[in-house]
Amino acid sequence: GAVVSQHPSWVICKSGTSVKIECRSLDFQATTMFWYRQFPKQSLMLMATSNEGSKATYEQGVEKDKFLINHASLTLSTLTVTSAHPEDSSFYICSASRSRYQPQHFGDGTRLSIL
Amino acid sequence: GQQLNQSPQSMFIQEGEDVSMNCTSSSIFNTWLWYKQDPGEGPVLLIALYKAGELTSNGRLTAQFGTTRKDSFLNISASIPSDVGIYFCAVRLSGTYKYIFGTGTRLKVLA
């Protein structure tokens, strides 16, 4: 089946640091990937749609200058949390699908903790 | 905004029991998915439903796409300890390839 890899799985860093998270589709090409954020005991909230070769589409309320998304190839999307602060601490998960109308498959998530 | 409500919110069951949970919406959707999420991991796709009334099985799991296209249920038969986790339903937003997720059902199994 489809495999999506996310790295790193766990990050702890100081306030003000920028953190980059990678999402790779390992056995298929993904023109579109998605980034979600999940707070403890809550559901997944879509942050943005990452489009290969073009700008990401952000959901309402998500700061595009805070959460920079780059989708430079058909197998890699990156999310950079710029100048991270404690309120940015969360579980970030990416997903991808073989085609637009097929189900999404998720990476294992990145636990981000900002001190 | 659009919301998917799942019930129950959480449940404890005895190992070996059957489990039933559902997901409802005020809007019609044409694609319904069920995922399971283990602690600290990303969700894993269990079942995908594309046709109203469709009943699909995956091992001990059975899911149905409601005929009104506003709900779906997931059944787990003969539950085992590894069924512990959070079960999410998800629907594809019409005219897009984005999905929204339900509120989740947290399943805990008593051995």
- How high is the pLDDT of residue A4? 94
pLDDT, average across residues B65-76: 96
Q: Could you report the per-residue pLDDT of B4-60, keeping only the tens digit for each?
A: 999 999 999 899 999 999 999 999 999 999 999 999 999 999 999 999 999 999 999
| Interface contact flag, B103 A43, Cβ < 8 Å | yes
CA distance A84 to B70: 39
Q: Is residue B104 within 8 Å of residue B8, measured between CB atoms?
A: no
CB interface of A with B, residues 50-79, below 8 Å: none
Shortest Cα distance, chain A CAs vs residue B103, angstroms: 5
Residue with tokens 């409500």: B5
Choose between A105 and B95: higher pLDDT.
A105
What's the angle, vertex CA A62, arms to CA B48 and CA A17, rounded to 5? 110
> Could you check whether the bond before residue B8 is cis, i.e. omega within 30 degrees of 0?
yes
pLDDT higher than 60, residue B107: yes
Residue B57, helix vs strand vs coil: strand
Residue B82, helix vs strand vs coil: helix
CB interface of B with A, residues 59-88, below 8 Å: 88
Q: Which of A28, A23, A22 is nearest to A97 (CA)?
A: A28
Entry field: residues in chain B? 111
- How high is the pLDDT of residue B64? 97
Q: In the structure, what pLDDT confidence band is assigned to residue B94 with cuts at 50, 70 and 90?
A: confident
B101: chain A residues, CB-CB within 8 Å: 43-44
CA distance A58 to B83: 34
Q: Give me the average pLDDT of each 10-residue run along chain A (115 residues).
A: 86 96 92 93 93 90 95 92 96 89 90 96
Contacts with B14 (C-beta within 8 Å, 6 or more apart), sequence order: B79, B109, B110
Q: Which among A43, A104, A105 has the least Cβ separation from residue B104?
A: A43
| Interface contact flag, B101 A43, Cβ < 8 Å | yes
- How high is the pLDDT of residue B35? 97
Interface test with A, best of B9, B25, B58, B101 (most A CBs within 10 A): B101
| CA-based R_g, chain B, Å | 13
Q: Is residue B22 within 8 Å of residue B5, measured between CB atoms?
A: no
CA distance A79 to A88: 13
| Interface contact flag, B43 A106, Cβ < 8 Å | yes
Helices (H) and strands (E) in chain A, counts: 0, 11
Q: In the structure, what pLDDT confidence band is assigned to residue B70 with cuts at 50, 70 and 90?
A: very high
Joined together, the tokens standing for residue B12 give: 């404890």
A98 touching B, CB under 8 A? no
Q: Which among A42, A101, A109 has the least Cβ separation from residue B97?
A: A101
- How high is the pLDDT of residue B1? 60
| Interface contact flag, A104 B41, Cβ < 8 Å | no
| Interface contact flag, B45 A4, Cβ < 8 Å | no
Q: Is residue B109 within 8 Å of residue B16, measured between CB atoms?
A: no
pLDDT higher than 80, residue B78: yes
pLDDT higher than 70, residue B2: no
- How high is the pLDDT of residue A99? 78
Instruction: Tell how strand A19-25 and strand A105-106 pair up.
Output: unpaired
CA distance B106 to B83: 10
